């Protein structure tokens, strides 16, 4: 018999970890290759972890609710043939050379109380945990983990960063003290407790689902890591509205779906991104990656979650093609049939906040993208035209949030001006939806 390991798969390009939402098997169950073992949530998708082997489930390493880095072991399977291997040796044995998942031996607090380790045992941290600890100077030996077997998770560190109480190595604190300096002693500041929200009769307590936790984690990461800047431009879309309204009935009869204003906006943004490729970039630590493909992420909401499917190569599609894809992706989200690969590869986000009647808003950037554009509600307003005449015009605000590490006001302003120019020149005479 042999013991095989099932590891946390990578369920997206920028996904670094996943949360075990629900186990679909238990120890002793027989599974076939490709059978679903567990439901996993990430900040991008909910998916199933398939078995890579046929055999008997031996041990569930992770518990429901645990967050593990990509590549970490979630369970073990006993298969026919080969020598048996004890999983505890894989977890605790010290490698000959340090790797990205190991650090020098130290008294790491993995549980609520310190845990004694055998000589040579190593503390194992995921790449995401190591990255955050290095960026914020967190001494991991002073952190109590809430993950499987007391493992420190990225969520643990983000909570510490948010609280502002960064645990620093004791040796670093003592290094600034000299015998000639009087030292005032005081108790360490306590970690802020969770908000004490009183629950009265009639209040409803709603459990936080895995999807909602993933959304919260991604939004928090974006606000913590990306310095947001914001700008807005006003656009006269009277001609575009008249053109779309003149063809919508015939289009619906011919194509079977509505041609929406949103499809025109996505097409205009895609064209402007082609002319200003820096807007189609991402921050990658020591470099900025300017993406070749223009893939527009769009936000689609359900009753309790927000999904961000992607229109691939939107610059190569017609207004009709974009409209059809928006309609199909939204239908898949609401019917629960959206696939993981349909939410991957986005390079720029366009959000249709105007569908809720909003006229001005600041979006949180869809990490690791560099910008998000909010398309607000089209409102008829009096506008002073050339010559001083006042006319009722269809106006819309376009609100752009940008990552100031990647983009400056100059390129963002020119990009928005170009989107405005494209939209204001859409007419029946010079624009085709096909």
Q: Hunting for tokens 């690791």 — which residue is that?
A: 368
Structure token digits, residue 116? 């004694």
Contact 144, 112 (CB under 8 A): yes
Q: Hunting for tokens 């990552």 — which residue is that?
A: 403
What are the residue numbers of the active site?
404, 408
User: CA–CA separation, 253 vs 251, rounded Å?
Assistant: 5
Q: How many secondary structure helices (H) and strands (E) does the chain include?
A: 9, 19
Does pTM top 0.75 for this prediction? no
The CATH homologous superfamily to which domain 227-424 belongs is Chloramphenicol acetyltransferase-like domain (3.30.559.10)
Question: Which of 423, 362, 390 has the alpha carbon at shortest distance from 234?
Answer: 423
Contact 279, 370 (CB under 8 A): yes
Dihedral over Cα of 151, 152, 153, 159: its sign:
positive
User: CA–CA separation, 124 vs 88, rounded Å?
Assistant: 13
pLDDT (tens, 9 = 90+) of the chain, 434 residues, equals: 788 999 988 776 667 788 888 899 999 999 988 888 998 887 666 778 888 889 999 999 998 888 888 889 999 999 875 444 333 333 333 344 434 344 433 333 333 333 343 444 446 666 667 767 766 778 787 888 887 667 788 778 888 877 767 776 443 333 333 333 344 444 444 545 567 888 899 999 888 877 777 778 888 889 989 999 999 999 999 999 999 999 999 999 999 999 999 999 999 999 999 999 999 999 998 899 999 999 999 988 887 778 899 999 999 999 999 999 999 999 998 888 888 889 899 999 999 999 989 999 999 999 999 999 999 999 999 999 988 899 999 999 999 999 999 999 999 999 999 999 999 999 999 999 99
User: CA–CA separation, 248 vs 312, rounded Å?
Assistant: 25
Tell me which H or E stretch contains 17. Answer: strand 17-23
User: CA–CA separation, 303 vs 219, rounded Å?
Assistant: 18
H-state helical runs in 198-260: 210-225, 238-255
Q: Pick 2-91's CATH classification: 2.40.50.100, 3.40.50.1970, 3.30.70.260, 1.20.120.1460.
A: 2.40.50.100
Question: Which of 123, 131, 8 has the alpha carbon at shortest distance from 71?
Answer: 8
**In this structure, what are the phi and psi dihedrals at residue 37, rounded to the nearest 5 degrees?**
-105, -40
Instruction: For the chain, give every domain's residue range.
Output: 2-91, 227-424
| Residue 44 Cα distances to 11, 299, 311, 345, angstroms | 8, 12, 15, 11
């Amino acid at each position: 018999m042999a013991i095989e390991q099932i590891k946390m798969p990578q369920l997206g390009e920028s996904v670094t970890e996943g949360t075990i939402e629900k186990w679909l098997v238990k120890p002793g169950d027989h599974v076939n290759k490709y059978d679903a073992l567990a439901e996993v949530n990430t900040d991008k998708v909910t998916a199933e972890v398939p078995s890579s082997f046929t055999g008997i489930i031996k041990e569930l390493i992770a518990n429901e609710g645990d967050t593990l880095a990509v590549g970490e072991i979630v369970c073990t399977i006993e298969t026919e043939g080969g020598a048996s291997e004890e999983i505890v040796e894989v977890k605790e044995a010290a490698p000959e050379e340090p790797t990205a998942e190991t650090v020098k031996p130290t008294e790491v607090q993995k549980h609520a109380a310190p845990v004694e380790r055998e000589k040579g045992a190593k503390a194992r941290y995921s790449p995401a945990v190591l990255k955050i600890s290095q960026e914020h100077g967190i001494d991991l030996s002073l952190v109590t983990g809430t993950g499987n077997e007391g493992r420190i998770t990225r969520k643990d560190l983000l909570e510490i960063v948010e609280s502002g109480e960064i645990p620093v190595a004791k040796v670093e604190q003592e290094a600034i003290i000299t015998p000639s300096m009087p030292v005032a002693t005081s108790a360490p500041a306590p970690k802020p407790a969770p908000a004490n929200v009183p629950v009265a009769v009639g209040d409803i307590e709603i459990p936080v689902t895995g999807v909602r936790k993933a959304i919260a984690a991604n939004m928090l990461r974006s606000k913590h890591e990306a310095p947001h800047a914001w700008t807005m431009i006003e656009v006269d879309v009277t001609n575009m509205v008249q053109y779309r309204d003149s063809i919508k009935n015939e289009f619906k009869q011919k194509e079977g779906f509505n041609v929406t204003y949103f499809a025109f906006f996505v097409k205009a943004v895609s064209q402007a991104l082609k002319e200003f490729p820096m807007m189609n970039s991402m921050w990658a630590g020591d470099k900025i990656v300017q993406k070749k493909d223009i893939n527009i992420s769009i936000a689609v909401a359900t009753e309790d979650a927000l999904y961000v499917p992607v229109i691939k190569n939107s610059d190569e599609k017609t207004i009709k093609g974009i409209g059809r894809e928006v309609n199909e992706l939204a239908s898949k989200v609401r019917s629960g049939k959206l696939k993981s690969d349909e939410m991957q590869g986005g390079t720029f986000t366009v959000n249709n906040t105007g569908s809720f009647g909003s006229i001005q808003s600041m979006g949180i950037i869809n990490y690791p993208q560099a910008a998000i554009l909010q398309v607000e509600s089209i409102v008829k307003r009096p506008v002073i035209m050339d010559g001083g005449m006042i006319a009722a015009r269809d106006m819309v605000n376009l609100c752009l949030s940008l990552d100031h590490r990647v983009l400056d006001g100059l390129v963002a302003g020119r990009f928005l001006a170009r989107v405005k120019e494209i939209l204001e020149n859409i007419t029946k005479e010079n624009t085709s939806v096909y």
